[in-house]
Structure 1
């Protein structure tokens, strides 16, 4: 199964841009696409991750795995983002050991969301 690296293309990082293609989130998306997705990862641009105060934001998700949201990403972070995405894709549950995560993933995590199961089970 393939992991998805979502990139918020509308993140402005507090900047004003008349041309949406110049927004930091859009620039990050293009930088990641130019480098190419690692094995078992697809890169998907999305219009908003609702992490505006921590933009530019990305998220990693895969069915049956924990989902992560990361913020304060820049174009310069593209190599580390892709390395982190590859490590995430290689895990059975999305839990990459702490020391094996890129530093930006250790320090710039916004949220960690448990894997969803369908039908959703009631908490006991």
Structure 2
């Protein structure tokens, strides 16, 4: 949902299947706050959980070594071509289904935003940042 007082410029949505354009990036090196380093890392467990939850959905799950939110707990990002990207923290090793549910909402969004009210609770309270796609910035003053 866009904020009428903001200068957000909606972009035309891609013609391809939007689920195939949504990617979940999960930090595999993340660990729980104040927890000792252990193997497998909780971030690696979250990668596996998200991949399992994404099976058959068209959502792509990829792991990255670090998203730079080390003090914020387990972290993941969700992005879609031509749309805003979302970064979430404070996740748990079993939050894969929540990430995929949010990604599916995002995939079905006609305005390029992940609907807030329908998000799983972990994605409502864990939002770290929302980042505009570079194409959106072209139309801003």
TM-score category, normalised to shorter length:
0.7 to 0.9
Task: Give 1:1-124 correspondences, 5 Å limit.
Answer: 1=16, 2-14=21-33, 15-17=35-37, 19=39, 22-37=40-55, 39-117=57-135, 121=138, 123-124=140-141
- Structure 2: state its 5+ residue gaps: 1-15
Task: Give, in whole Å, the separation in 2 of the partners of 1:35 and 1:7.
Answer: 13
User: Which stretch has the larger CA shift, 70-79 or 41-50?
Assistant: 70-79
| Whole-Å separation in 2 of the counterparts to 1:58 and 1:94 | 18
Question: Contact 1:38/1:86 (CA < 8 Å) preserved in 2?
Answer: no
Q: Give the corresponding residue for 2:6.
A: none
Q: How many residues align structurally?
A: 121
Residues 94 and 25 of structure 1: CA distance in aligned 2, closer, same or farther (over 3 Å): farther
Cα distance in 2, alignment partners of residues 38 and 54 from structure 1: 30
Aligned equivalents of 1:55, 1:98: Cα separation in 2: 21
Q: Which has the larger radius of gyration?
A: 2
Structure 1, unmatched stretches of 5+, are none
Question: RMSD of the alignment, in Å?
Answer: 2.1
The offset of 1:5, in angstroms, is 0.2
Q: Distance in 2 between matches of 1:96 and 1:61?
A: 10
Secondary structure of 1:32's partner?
helix
